[in-house]
């Protein structure tokens, strides 16, 4: 059989951003910064992942107090995949 394995993408998008301080802070984490162009780092990541992985197999790991900001930044994320 030549069946391809089901690939998943796991995007880590959480934390306080202490290593990139003072640009990144608890209220403005690194993944929500626009460092390389007009889009945030997390939206750039999802754009790259979409070319390789089906939408339903994109998982995101974040902290509870950043879920809403992540949903606003990447509105097509599936709620069950956060």
3-state SS of 10-64?
Answer: EEECCCCCHHHCCCCECCECHHHCCCCCCCCHHHHHHHHHHCCCCHHHEEEECCH
What's this model's pTM, rounded to 2 decimal places? 0.80
CB 82 within 8 A of CB 64: no
The reply to whether omega before 59 is within 30° of 0 (cis) is no
Percent of the chain with pLDDT over 70: 91
| Mean pLDDT of the region 27-31 | 80
| Model pLDDT, residue 81 | 92
Structural domain boundaries in the chain: 9-81
| Model pLDDT, residue 15 | 75
How confident is residue 4, by pLDDT bands cut at 50, 70 and 90? low
Better-scored residue on pLDDT, 27 or 79: 79
């Amino acid at each position: 059989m030549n069946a391809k394995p089901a690939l998943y993408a796991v995007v880590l998008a959480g934390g306080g951003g202490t290593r990139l301080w003072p640009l990144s802070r608890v209220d403005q984490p690194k993944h929500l910064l626009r460092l390389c162009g007009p889009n945030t780092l997390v939206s750039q990541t999802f754009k790259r992942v979409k070319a390789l992985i089906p939408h339903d197999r994109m998982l995101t790991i974040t902290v509870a107090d950043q879920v809403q900001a992540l949903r606003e930044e990447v509105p097509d994320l599936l709620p069950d995949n956060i």
